[in-house]
Amino acid sequence: MDHRKLGNSGLEVSVIGLGANNFGGRIDYPQSDSVISQAIDLGINFIDTSNSYGNSLSEEYIGRSLEGRRDSVVIATKVSSRMGVGPNQAGNSRKHIMDQVEKSLHRLRTDYIDLYQIHWWDPATPIDETLRALDDLTAQGKIRYFGCSNFNSWQVCESIWVSKDLSLRSFISVQPHYSLLERKIEEDLIPLCERYDMGILPYFPLANGFLTGKYKKGIASPEGARLQSDDRGLFSDRNFEILEQLTSFCQERDKKIIDLAFAWLLYRKNVSSVIAGATKPEQVVINSAAGEWHITDEEYQSVSSILE
């Protein structure tokens, strides 16, 4: 398993990360533990979760599973989502962040979080308040680094400049929706990350499973598949046409569409790790193997031409 620096930090993360949004929701603790163990065995050291995933069970399951092997992984979690009824139970205020980091540490059974991410932009809280709280938590050793998720490019830029102006530590990474079929961040966010050397941590790299090859035009979706009841706008003629061309491209190289979905993203050097969820150990094996394909400049351009 290859590893890359996370942005301009010294932190090294596996190019394939394990997304834990299924833990506590779609799968129970024994299943989650088997997925985590498989990931670690394959050299995946980056586990991404949130205090809100699985009604907080995701963090709890990760903490239980990692007892005795905490130092072998980089834990990334998030704060911002509503965690209760009433005031101060959501957002990026100092109070909410300080309250929630303690609860996350308790559930994760650790005394530090490697990467603490702001899950959503909070228009009701000044960004300097958020950044001061994160800077203080870093100084206290409760978090090692911090990043953001689902931020627009102007929100990331403002955060960077406020950090500079106040002489605070800054975001080292951003976690956006990015895949072969979702490329909006290429307009502004990626150039911004390249300019300031921020790590990019794409989520939904397989477009909610559309890029696994299990869906065929005009054929009913497999029973129990994620897109069976709601295709989320993915089942268009154009997308199926793209999928067909990408599949042919992979077959010519004895690869699978899943391999390409990861390799194409990892072609960009600022993509530090691609976050992939899994509900079974065998899915982790498939995802891990995909990180071994290093596509060439020519192959990247060929795929980009198909997408455009």
Which class would CATH give 3-210+268-294?
alpha beta
Residue-wise pLDDT for 134-171, tens only, equals 999 999 999 999 999 999 999 999 999 999 999 999 99
Q: What pLDDT is recorded for position 224?
A: 60
Write phi, then psi, for 76 (nearest 5 degrees): -120, 130
Sequence-ordered alpha helix ranges (H) in 151-296: 153-166, 189-196, 237-251, 257-266, 281-290
Every domain of the chain and the residues it spans: 3-210+268-294
Q: How confident is the model at residue 213 (pLDDT cuts 50, 70, 90)?
A: confident
218 has pLDDT over 90? no
Lowest mean pLDDT among 66-75, 111-120, 234-243, 289-298: 234-243
Amino acid at site 215? Y
Q: Which residues are catalytic?
A: 53
- Residue 259, Cβ density class (10 Å: 0-12 exposed, 13-18 middle, ≥19 buried): buried
Q: How many CB atoms lie within 10 A of CB 220?
A: 9
Residue 173 near residue 272 (C-beta atoms within 8 A): yes
Q: How confident is the model at residue 294 (pLDDT cuts 50, 70, 90)?
A: very high
